Amino acid sequence: MKIALLHNPDAGAGELTVEEMTLLFQAAGHEVLAASTKEEHWEQVLGESIERVVIAGGDGTVSSVAPHLAGRRLPFCILPLGTANNVARSLAQVQPARDLVAHFDTARLKKLDLGFARSWSNQWPFIEAVGFGLVVELMGRMAGAKEDEEAPPEERPNEKVARALGNLESLSEGYPGTVCEVLIDDEILSGRFLLLEVMNINFIGPNLQLAPAADPSDGWLDLVCIRDDARKAWRTYVSQLKQGGQIAAPFEARRCRHVEFRGVSTPFHVDSEVLRPAATPIRIGLEPAALDFLDVGS
């Protein structure tokens, strides 16, 4: 089988090198074409009679690669090498490389919905979520710490998640929230929100399982919102996660087909990309079953 191994060279410190990953697949009888997602025109490898795709990296790598596979109907699987690995967790793709290779030929194909956020002039595909509020604030703080070299250079993924949860807890105390109106299918939701996320998968940010019932293959989105009057419950939730607790997120949630942001003046994110306020409305929907992934965990 001819495989494209698309890898992020900045992910997975201490894990297998791309050469070692290539050798594992070759030893199992596969032909491997490897390409770094940091190089220009990496997507050209997908035109080489590829039959399967392995994405080796974190959530940002998955979000960059997966939309390119929709029109090609190329099944993919994930070798999780990032910090949070939210997509891999949601798709039960958290196996080590050797287990992935062992089940690669027998894996079942499953469907995955692909989300889209649209403004008047732009369109952004997404795998994880679109939202505004505290997750965006956290992204900004963590990016700033990285640029200022405040993060320990040898930090492990679980240590990074713990540090992110600590930052999220401190941000939650004084964050004023965002006042806006949101159209959910045919219902209007308005108020001041600490966080509002339109989710395609179960996890977001530092392993926040805000949509535990989400099914990334069912053609539905899961909207989770935390209003200003739920601040105490939210801070308790984050604090317990930071201490290693596994608790359900007791927040307002609903399933929907379409969402429209109206009057949002703060930055919003599409997966791991933070975008400056644009002319609203921002319309969010799904292309059901747009992607195929390999269920290597079954």
Read off the pLDDT of residues 2-38 as tens digits, 9 standing for 90 and up. 999 999 988 876 678 899 999 999 999 999 999 999 9
**40-49, 115-124, 228-237, 275-284: which range is least confident on average?**
275-284
The confidence score (pLDDT) of residue 13 equals: 61
Query: How high is the mean pLDDT of the chain?
Result: 91
pLDDT (tens digit per residue) in 225-281: 999 999 999 999 999 999 887 777 878 899 999 999 998 888 999 999 999 876 779
Contact 169, 210 (CB under 8 A): no
Going by pLDDT thresholds of 50, 70 and 90, the confidence category of residue 47 is confident
- The half-sphere exposure of 140 on its side-chain side, counting CA atoms within 13 A, is 14
Res 58: pLDDT: 94
pLDDT of residue 249: 80
Percent above pLDDT 70 for the chain: 95
pLDDT (average), residues 279-295: 93
Q: How confident is the model at residue 155 (pLDDT cuts 50, 70, 90)?
A: confident
Q: Residue 100: which of 35, 24, 16 has the closest Cα?
A: 24
The per-residue pLDDT for 151 is 57
Output the pLDDT for position 248.
77
Higher pLDDT, 143 or 255: 255
> pLDDT of 65-102, one tens digit each?
999 999 888 999 999 999 999 999 999 999 888 999 99
pTM above threshold 0.85: yes
Q: Exposed, middle or buried: residue 80 (CB in 10 Å: 0-12, 13-18, 19+)? A: buried
What pLDDT is stored for residue 163 in this prediction?
A: 93
pLDDT at 171: 96
| pLDDT (average), residues 193-199 | 96
Whether residue 147 has pLDDT greater than 90: no
| pLDDT of 54 above 90 | yes
Q: What is the pLDDT of residue 280?
A: 75
DSSP the chain: -EEEEEE-TTS-TTS--HHHHHHHHHHTT-EEEEEETTSTTGGGGGGSS--EEEEEE-HHHHHHHGGGGTTTT--EEEEE-SSS-HHHHHTT----HHHHHHHTTTPEEEEEEEEEEE-SS-EEEESSEEEEEHHHHHHHHHHHHHHTT-S-TT--HHHHHHHHHHHHHHHHHH---EEEEEEETTEEEEEEEEEEEEESSS-BTTTB-S-TT--TTSS-EEEEEEEGGGHHHHHHHHHHHHTT------SEEEEES-EEEES--S-EEETTEEE---SSPEEEEEEEEEEEEEETT-
Q: What domains can be seen in the chain, in order of their start residue?
A: 2-112 (3.40.50.10330), 117-289 (2.60.200.40)
In angstroms, the CA 261 to CA 143 distance is: 25
